[in-house]
Structure 1
Amino acid sequence: MEEVGEIKESTTSSFVFRVKNGVRKFDYVCVEHDGIVLSQIWEIKQQSDGIFAEAHVIGSMNKKYMMRTPFPLGGKVYRANEEIIKRVIGIEREGIYIGLLKDTDMKVFLSPESLIQKHLCVLAKSGSGKSYAIGVIAEEFIKRGLPIVIIDPHGEYVSLRRPNLDRNEMQLMKKFGIKPRSYAKNVFEYSPVCSRNREAIPLFLDEVNLSFQDILYLLPDATSAQKGILYEAWKNAREKRIYFLKDILQGIKEVKSSAKWGLVAKVEQIISMELFSPHYTPIDEIVKKGRCSVINLRGVAPYIQETLVSILLTKIFEERKNGTIPPVLIVIEEAHRYCPERGQGKSLAGDIIKTMASEGRKFGVGLAIVSQRPARVDKNVISQCNTHIILKTTNPNDVKAIIASVEGLNASSAGEIQMLPIGVAIVAGLPLTAPIFVEIRPRETLHGGK
């Protein structure tokens, strides 16, 4: 290994060394101290008597080793090689290829099983590469035949069907060992508004023989009196072999109670959304091996989006618990809309997203929470995510929320998060023993967020 310096000051968790050969901030170095100890340079300063670097300990090749004595002064400091970095930090050797460890040619992989079982969070300010990073992950899921469903408020992800022929990015692809590619055969676009999204498959929810619980789910604010009216209307509708929402509406209208009028207005509004149909979209078509299903909500009114997302996620969760669909990763773009933090508004989809965050790992339903406003996303949902991809974020409240939620980050990380170059992410979470800087690889497919 290449020698880069000599220790001048030390504690049990860090050391300062005089630099002999060129090193940069965040480079990895190692020293011998009852085994090879990996450290990362967090600061470099130039003084009249030389250049000095401060390195913080990450871990040891000896897994049973505990730092109990300072590093010996005069000890040699070496540039860490790829094998040491991978073994000590815990970088996967295969899986979801997201990019290169910053300033190296070392590929960084995430475990697809971990993403599905323990959730993912992608946070950054607008324009910093959140959707781009999710596009990279979607490409990798498609390659492996793993189901992924993307809640897409802006219609960005349909571009996964088309190859990335951007000249600058094609040059960059050589560095990352990839080529332009189309996933047209694997990407299925669904939308409740096909007039705006002409290539989409019409998306309808099942309205045939709704259970009483399904109806209550559509009307979460119903009073006790209204629930009684609903139950009576539902019970009467069940006398038919097949019944629809319009039958329940008719039953509500026939009830002799003034409390019915608020219900009539709400049920009429639900019917007017045209989300429900006897010719509904089967969940096992949306969640299917080898398929990326993009739920394109471009042009859909916010209250309809909430209703659709709420019911669709509930149905997916139920089907997965019943074992009728395979394990799946569900991407929630603009997550602050659908699972807002307390005091930041309400959403019909909030409860099911919280349930999925806390219970989904038991059933093979993974969440990828994506937002440019981390402070506005339910903190309990973010805290349930095991893997975090943090790109450039500048809003102080959002940075504070990230640091509070992501293990391995602290107050000193705030400046780094705010100064991240576009396309570079901090990746944190198990099995990594420390956060790492990753240069996100180029998209093989066209980025729809440009």
Structure 2
Amino acid sequence: MPETPTLVSAAPAGDWSSIGQVVGNASTSEFSFVLKSFRSRVGDLVAVKMDVPSSDYRGKNPTIYVWGRVTNITRYNPFFPYEAAQELAEEGLNLRDTILSDSRDQLEATVLILGCTPPDNAKTVFPLTYPVQPAATVFYPPAAWAKELLAGSLTGTPLQVGTLIARSDVDVNLSADRLVSRHLAILAMTGGGKTVAARRILRELIVAGYPILIFDPHGDYLGFSQKQALFADRKIKLFFPYLTMSAGSRSIVEKLIAKMTQGISDPQREYIAELMAGIEPRAGTPVRQYIGSLLAELGSRISAPRDKRQLPTMYAVRRALNQVDQYLSRMELTNDRMRATFARKGLTGFDQLPDPNGSPEQIIAPKQVSILYLGGYDQLTQCTIVSILMESLFEHRAAMTDAIPPFATFIEEAHTFIPSNREGAEDAPSVDTLRKVITEGRKFGTGLVLITQRPSRVDETILSQCNSFLVLRLVNPKDHSFVRSVMENMSDADARLLPGFGPGQGIVSGQAVRFPLLVQIRKDDDLMFTELGDENFIEQAQKWKPPAAAAGRASSREATKKLAAIPTRKAKK
């Protein structure tokens, strides 16, 4: 009988069970063992009790527990050779009609060593420096021990995201402090569960009262406002982009011109500054209204120039201002349509986005979630809004003025806002802004959570700055290789699991957890948004009827065709 690990009063209780024996060559990083049938699965935590040399090599050899995660299991039957299978297939025989055995399967599991602990404290983990003993007994640890092992390095508020894939009785928690300060990337293909994972993390942060800003291009998170009752005194606010002027500040117009145009020369920039200096904006003045005032003044100057040599510069400035005005006009029109569409679904309560320079506290506040819906806008407009807003908020944090508290920003469809160079990063104004935030945000309490279904299209420098990763199902080979390049601690065995994950299953690793783990994300059914579900376009097309005016025009066209088809009588000679 294998020796069961001895529990002391300081260790968590629970029953240990033997599930196999170590075989083959064992090292300080990996070992294999023959597994009893139906006693473990890939992703399970296992432990081996063994002695290691004392620190001075003269004292009593201390006993430790070596902890590992099952990364692979192979199954074979030595009593059923290939030749027998070939013969059965060729002759069409039933295995039961032969003397061959189909019940002598052997399971061999490969284990990645996570570290080792003293026998009385699963929280204190240190690296293994002596190889695992062959023929040692492998144990299946109780849930209490596994939980203590995983929770040992968590500081501050834990965020409960799910359980181990192989053990529903062992919770997986993330360190909230490390998540919001050192950035997280959630990577998964469509349908892989990235939005479910993001909602789970959001829920935990909302309960903790942490300030949150969400950039939502598709409306995936708007339904949080419908679940306000689930979050007690927390505020969930919906915003649509609406840019206004701050008192005495004209920088927003300069930023719009720089980000929405192909760029202007130094003389043109100086002329714009001189033009704006003569028109003082008032707080709350819409940016388009202020640009209209600039265009009116510029038109007067062009019609009666004091120096005709400045006409080329004035024309260039007018083109730039008109281009910005057209972009903003399109944005406002989309806003009107968006609000009308969501109002028909019962989702109301959208507010204009407050001025991030003059009123940042209306966007970022304790116990508040601010969701900025960006649906319907082209990529340039979305990136410009994100760039301007994040620049302003980050400047408030970097200035240490206490205008706003630390906050976390969730960026859905991150490949839109931080595309790689081959995807056109030069056309996305938000790239430089978010690169600065993710590089320096840790010092100023400005964390990012990047969510994308195409990680290979994201700027590699920015994604590699994330200290934690939650990777769910990925099938695209380019995404596989890219994730491996930015995740230093992803093993080959873990990478091979990515295509086979089910919805909500994945690998979490980095500073937010103690070890890389296979996790089953908890699905929050009470946060499902029924009114904002997938559209049934087939049903809509089947029930669609043209408007009355369009139907009238169609009838008129049909009548014209019928008349044209009637043969005309030839005139008599």
Say if 1:84 and 1:407 are closer, same or farther in 2 by CA, change over 3 A: farther
- Is 1:40 the equivalent of 2:74? no
- Which one-letter code corresponds to 1:125 in the other structure? M
| 2:397 corresponds to 1:333 | no
Cα distance per residue 1:306-331 (max 9 Å; x no partner): 22111111111112223310111111
Pick aligned residue for 1:60 from 116, 121, 137: 116
- Tell me: higher relative CO, structure 1 or 2? Use CA pairs within 8 A at least 6 residues apart: 1
Residues 180-227 of structure 1: per-residue CA shift (max 9 Å, x gap): 9367962111013xxxxxxxxxx3343553345861563148789733
CA distance in 1, matches of 2:161, 2:456: 25
- Judging changes above 3 Å, is the alpha-carbon distance between structure 1 residues 412 and 205 closer, same or farther for their aligned structure 2 residues? farther
3-state SS of 1:257 partner: helix
Task: Provide the residue aligned with 1:151 in structure 2.
Answer: 215
3-state SS of paired residue (1:162): helix
1:259 and 1:206 map into 2 onto residues whose CA distance is: 25
Distance 1:365 1:406, change over 3 A: same
- C-alpha separation in 2, matches of 1:98 and 1:278: 31
| TM-superposed deviation, 1:116 | 1.7
Moved more, 277-286 or 323-332: 277-286
Shift of 1:66: 4.5
Query: 1:185 & 1:71 partners in 2: Cα distance?
Result: 51
Q: Do the aligned partners of residues 336 and 449 (structure 1) sit closer, same or farther apart at CA in structure 2, a change above 3 Å counting?
A: farther
Shift in CA distance, 137/221, structure 1 to aligned 2, threshold 3 Å:
closer
Q: Which residue of 2 aligns with 1:245?
A: 291
Instruction: Provide structure 1 residue ranges, at least 5 long, that are not aligned to the other structure.
Output: 165-179, 193-202
Q: Match of 1:267, SS?
A: helix
1:261 corresponds to: 315
1:29 is aligned to 2:75: no
Alignment of 1:409 onto 2:490: yes
Counterpart in 2 of 1:177?
none
TM-score by length of 1: 0.85
Question: Partner residue of 1:169?
Answer: none
User: AA paired with 1:7?
Assistant: V
Query: For residues 248 and 144 of structure 1, do their structure 2 counterparts lie closer, same or farther at Cα, with a shift above 3 Å needed?
Result: same
Tell me the residue number matched to 1:206.
Answer: 245
Query: What residue identity is the alignment partner of 1:425?
Result: G
| Structure 2 CA distance for partners of 1:183 and 1:424, relative to 1, 3 Å | farther
Specify which of 501, 507, 512 is matched with residue 426 of structure 1: 507
Does the CA-based 8 Å contact 1:148-1:287 persist in structure 2? yes
Aligned residue number for residue 429 of structure 2: 348
Asked if the contact 2:468/2:508 (under 8 Å) is kept, the reply is yes
Whether 1:361 aligns to 2:361 is no
Determine the structure 2 residue equivalent to 1:304.
381
Question: Which amino acid in the other structure matches residue 27 of structure 2?
Answer: T
Residue type of the partner of 1:27?
D
From 137, 141, 157, the counterpart of 1:76: 137
**Aligned partner of 1:388: which letter?**
F
Report if aligned partners of 2:216, 2:411 keep a CA contact under 8 Å in 1: yes
Superposed CA RMSD in Å reads 2.9
The answer to which structure has the higher helix fraction is: 2
Equivalent positions of 1:4-403 (< 5 A) are 4-9=19-24, 10-20=26-36, 22-33=39-50, 34=52, 35-47=64-76, 48=78, 50-62=106-118, 65-89=126-150, 90=152, 92=154, 94-102=157-165, 103-163=167-227, 181=230, 186-192=235-241, 203-206=242-245, 208-211=247-250, 215-216=254-255, 218-220=257-259, 226-242=265-281, 244-249=290-295, 254=301, 256-272=310-326, 273-274=328-329, 280=355, 282-322=359-399, 323-345=402-424, 346-403=427-484
Give how far 1:67 is off: 3.3
My pick for the range that moved more, 344-353 or 255-264, is 255-264
Q: TM-score, normalised by structure 2?
A: 0.68
**What does the per-residue CA deviation read over 1:399-431, in whole Å, with 9 as the maximum and x for residues that have no partner?**
111111123213333220111111112111115
Task: Please state how far the C-alpha of 1:65 moved relative to its aligned partner.
Answer: 4.8
State the distance in 2 between where 1:278 and 1:74 align: 66
Give the match for residue 93 of structure 2.
none
Instruction: Name the larger-Rg structure.
Output: 2
Query: What is the letter of the counterpart of residue 108 of structure 2?
Result: F
Conserved 8 A contact 2:176-2:512: no
The runs of 5 or more residues in structure 2 that have no matched partner are 1-15, 53-63, 79-103, 119-123, 283-289, 303-309, 333-351, 535-573
2:244 and 2:144 mapped to 1: Cα distance?
51
- Matched residue of 1:287: which SS? coil
Q: Report deviation, 1:38.
A: 0.3
Query: 1:300, 1:184 → 2: CA distance?
Result: 32
Question: Counterparts of 1:46 and 1:382 in 2: how far apart (Å)?
Answer: 38
3-state SS, counterpart of residue 317 of structure 1: helix
Q: Distance in 2 between matches of 1:120 and 1:224?
A: 33
| 1:145–1:64 Cα change, 3 Å | closer
Answer yes or no: is the 8 Å Cα contact 1:189–1:293 preserved in 2.
yes
Determine what percentage of the aligned residue pairs are the same residue.
25
Aligned residues: 425
When residues 292 and 5 of structure 1 are mapped into structure 2, their CA distance, relative to the original with a 3 A threshold, is: same
